[in-house]
A and B are shown apart, each in its own frame.
Chain A
Amino acid sequence: MSYILEAQQVVKRYANHTALSGVSIQVPQGSIFGLLGPNGAGKTSLIRIINQITAPDEGSILLNGEPLQPKHIEWIGYLPEERGLYKKMKVGEQLLYLAQLKGMAKNQAIEQLKYWFIKFDIKEWWDKNVEDLSKGMQQKTQFIATIVHKPKLIILDEPFSGFDPINANLLKDEILQLKQEGSTIIFSTHRMESVEELCDHIALINKSKVVLAGEKKAVKNQFRDNTYTIEYQGTLLPATDLFEVLQYTTLDDNTTKAQLRLRPDVLPNAMLAAVIQQVELSSFHENIPSFNDIFIKVVGENANTIL
């Protein structure tokens, strides 16, 4: 697999703390990469280094296999968590300015902007001052600013904050479309449901270190604990040589919900065969951990070991 971005043992120290201590990540070409972590974990520090806003104290960043250089600035589109535009400037002028700063020629920039203005149906905004736009409109404007120069790598820091559900969906579709067109997207967030939906790969940073990384499914597999949820009517023995019941919950209409853990090397079919002999089974599924669970588990554990 080719990586568009590789961080190798990146260290960044500030006066009173270390923001990144030996962080390594690999972002595959054409993927949506979730950069996860609690507030203050070091995500923004890493993003700023990738954007060449600051330089690492140690380690290196490779973009398309080359060490970071000034020309790479034009390859990246960055939507910071704290949104901001020049308030007194007209929307069109401002986007044109930002696009030119990303290295686009004026004509080319105008053409691209027209495309986006038509696509988002916001043609009448061109001559409006930014301060006259609603917050949601400003978000859209800033999103256009991020992607107008067709960056190879798009870094979105909490992209959905401030969007209403309709616009959030629109944004989600745009992200998927950009991926189809070959862009790679790094997606920094602590909203796990969007990670579940969009990301192919993740890296979880906590306390300035990468504590979990990999392909989404592989990461989830690491956290499978061989437990299943079943619902049934009747009486189930608490333990057999195939499984043990961790928890019973009585639901309405005589149904019971139970959490089972299989003994090592027991397959679900064997468990099911045993269960249906005892009770009337109405539902069955494996407990696959959500990213929310994983996040809480990993970050929480980590917090405990450090405390």
Chain B
Amino acid sequence: MNKILLIIQREYLTRVKKKSFWIASILVPLLIAGVYTVPILLFVNADDEQRVTIVDESGLFQDKLKSEGDLTFVFTKQSFEQAKEALLKSKDDVLVRISADIISNPKGVQIIGKKTVGFGVQNDIEGKIQNELRNIKLTKAGIDLQVLEDNKIKVDAQTFTLNEDGGEKSSSSGGAMILGGFFGFLLYISAFLYGSQVMNGVIEEKSNRIIEVMVSSVRPFQLMMGKIIGVGMVGITQFLLWGVLTFGASSATTAIMSSQIESKVMAKTQAGISKQEIEKYKAAVKQENPLSAINQTIENISLGKIIVCFFLFYIGGYLLYSSLFAAIGSAVESPSEAQQFMFPVTIPIILSFILAQFIIQKPDSSIAFWASIIPFTSPIDMMVRLPFGVSNWEIALSLVLLIAGFMGTTWLAGKIYRVGILMYGKKPSWKEIGKWLWYKG
């Protein structure tokens, strides 16, 4: 068996067998499914039917406040005091008193609940009374309500992307922003996470002194590449697990949710609520889903393209940076010593992340173009740009340059690594590390 395969196997298995790997693999999809489900569940299960008894002392609101959504309004002729007593015995939840001088005294509304009145309920009731009050005042001022209705024009712009073939597709720049930000962030985190795993692995071998035994069996370059590839595959495994488990967890929760929504809709239908209302409700549920905009973006740019590009840029970016991290690890004897050398390597990673926030705003600017082409920033910044639509030649150019980039850094790192791993004693200076490049094998 090829030695480099043995090394990859060991590096991969020792990491995948760790508990921490599995905890991260399971926890993250659960979190994502949670982010996706909880708002909807909260919305669906939020304050069930509330029966509101209204004591309208002004007599202005009778039949004007209509039951809607979860609120059912019941008017009573009882006095406020009687109604209060009745509330305790009845099934009703909330009692509202509208004072006689409500028109001149907008504060004359009291809401009394058996339990603490929810903020949502309070808002709804206030909103309805406020609306009605305004209508009354406007009518008094001689304004036709119909004219007023006609004036409520809502502008809802749709954004479109022009295709290369001239067609239009509706796009959602919000979804693209979220998706771009998500992939950019994932690559940003993974550059640090897996890069530093490679670095610490190298430091471990060096400080353990196993390195001398290892390099008497394999070439230093084989050892370095074996470690880089092994750790990189751990990253890919992690992403795949995240993908599959997130999909699984989301499908499961979606199934549970839709059954809940269904039964909710059923209940509403039975309660004799109009079809229009139910449609409105369904739309509101959909609105609560934070991923709805993303789903639309994914429909526009094929999901396959995004995933393929993600893995290509992950591999390219990972190889580029992790080889530099390996070189740093070889030059030092402890992680704390490594800090000083990490700085120049982390700068371009952080820079790409800062640029990413600009690119999200202006994905077609020339800065965005160059950031997604130049190898050191391209892995993160191309992924950020991708959901906004990037032509294939740009992706190809970026990938070719990235390959050239990581071949360069790997070559450089190999030269430093082979000398560094056998150097003990004082911490080297940049100048010394520079000299190592010219040592004979």
Query: Across the two chains, which residue of chain B brings its CB closest to A14?
Result: B439
Checking A78, A84, A97 against B10 with a beta-carbon cut-off of 8 angstroms, the contacting residue is: A97
The B220-241 residues at the A interface (CB cut-off 8 A) are 220
Q: How far is the CA of A97 from the CA of B440 in the complex (A)?
A: 29
Q: How far is the CB of A135 from chain B (nearest CB, A)?
A: 13
A94: min CB distance to chain B, Å:
9
B14 touches A98 (CB 8 A): no
Alpha-carbon gap, A85 to B211, bound state (A) = 9
Verify if A293 is at the interface (C-beta below 8 Å from B). no
Q: Mark A66-105, 1 if CB is under 8 A from B, else 0.
A: 0000100100101010111111110000000110111000
Interface size, chain B (Cβ < 8 Å)? 26
A87 to B207 CA separation, bound complex (whole angstroms): 11
A259 to chain B, nearest CB (A): 45
Contact indicator per residue, chain B 274-289, by CB within 8 Å of chain A (1) or not (0): 0000000000000000
- Tell me which residues across on chain B come within 8 A of A87, comparing CB atoms: 208
Say yes or no for A57: interface residue by CB 8 A criterion: yes
Contact of A128 with B by CB under 8 A: no
Complex Cα gap A97–B211 (Å): 14
A-B contact count (CB 8 A): 62
Residues of chain B contacted by A15 (CB below 8 angstroms)? 432, 435
Give residues of chain B (386-441) contacting chain A, Cβ–Cβ below 8 Å: 422, 432, 435, 440-441
Interface residues of B in 192-233 (CB under 8 A from A): 204-205, 208-220
Which 8 residue pairs spanning A and B have beta carbons closest together?
A84-B209, A84-B210, A80-B212, A101-B217, A82-B209, A51-B216, A78-B216, A84-B208
CA distance A15 to B219 in the complex (A): 22
| Contact indicator A101/B6 (Cβ below 8 Å) | yes
Instruction: Pick from B212, B432, B440: contact of A53, CB below 8 A.
Output: B212
| Residue interface mask A44-66, B partner, CB < 8 A = 1 | 00001001111101000000000
Residues of A at under 8 Å CB distance from B? 15, 48, 51-55, 57, 70, 73, 76, 78, 80, 82-89, 97-98, 100-102, 106, 142, 145
Bound-complex Cα distance A53 to B440 (A): 11
Nearest CB in chain A: distance from B425 CB, A: 12
For A87, the closest partner residue in chain B by CB is B208
* CB closest residue in chain A, given B5: A100
A83 touches B3 (CB 8 A): no
For the complex, what is the distance from the CA of A29 to the CA of B88, rounded to whole Å? Answer: 106
- Interface residues in B325-349 (C-beta closer than 8 Å to A): none
- Extra contacts besides A53-B215, A86-B204, A101-B214 (4): CB < 8 Å: A53-B422, A80-B213, A97-B10, A101-B7
Distance in Å from the Cβ of A206 to the closest Cβ of chain B?
22
Residues of A within 8 Å of B14, CB to CB, are 88-89
- Cβ contacts A to B, 26 pairs, < 8 Å: A15-B432, A51-B215, A53-B212, A53-B216, A53-B422, A54-B441, A57-B440, A70-B219, A78-B212, A78-B216, A80-B212, A80-B216, A82-B212, A84-B210, A84-B212, A84-B213, A86-B205, A86-B210, A88-B14, A97-B6, A98-B217, A101-B6, A101-B217, A101-B218, A106-B1, A145-B213
Bound state CA distance, A157 and B143, in angstroms? 103
Interface of B is mostly: helix
For residue A5, give the distance in angstroms from its CB to the closest CB of chain B: 15
CB neighbours of A80 from chain B (8 A): 209, 212-213, 216
Supposing A53-B216, A97-B10 touch, asked if A86 and B209 sit within 8 A by C-beta, the answer is: no
- Is B216 touching A76 in the complex (CB atoms < 8 A)? yes
Tell me if B217 and A102 are in contact (CB < 8 A): yes
Cα A98 to Cα B135 in complex, Å, equals 86
Chain A minimum-CB-distance residue to B206: A84
Find chain A residues with CB under 8 A from B213 CB: 78, 80, 84, 98, 142, 145
Residues on A with beta carbons closer than 8 Å to the beta carbon of B211:
84
The residues of B with any CB-CB pair to A shorter than 8 Å are 1, 3, 6-7, 10, 14, 204-205, 208-220, 422, 432, 435, 440-441
**Which chain B residue has the least Cβ–Cβ distance from A99?**
B217
Asked whether B208 lies within 8 Å of A85 as measured between CB atoms, the reply is yes
Contact B3–A101 (Cβ < 8 Å): yes
- A residues near B209, Cβ cutoff 8 Å: 80, 82-84
Closest to A97 in B: B10
Complex CA gap A48/B439 in Å reads: 15
CA A82 – CA B422 in complex, angstroms?
11
List the A residue with the shortest CB-CB distance to B3. Answer: A101
Instruction: Determine how close the nearest CB of chain A comes to the CB of B73; give it in whole angstroms.
Output: 68
A97 to B226 alpha-carbon distance, docked (Å): 14
B210 touches A85 (CB 8 A): yes
Q: Which residues of A sit under 8 angstroms from B219, Cβ to Cβ?
A: 70
Q: Give, as a whole number of angstroms, the nearest-CB distance from A43 to chain B.
A: 14
Question: Which residues from chain B contact A73 at a C-beta distance below 8 Å?
Answer: 216-218
B432 (CB) vs chain A CBs: closest residue: A15
In the docked arrangement, what's the CA distance between A223 and B6, Å? 51
* Residues on A with beta carbons closer than 8 Å to the beta carbon of B210: 84-86
Would you give the shortest CB distance from A108 to chain B, in whole angstroms? 12
Nearest CB in chain A: distance from B3 CB, A: 6
Nearest-neighbour CB distance to chain B for A177, whole angstroms, equals 22
Measured CB to CB, the closest approach of chain A to B288, in angstroms, equals: 46
Chain A residues near B204: list those with CB within 8 A. 86
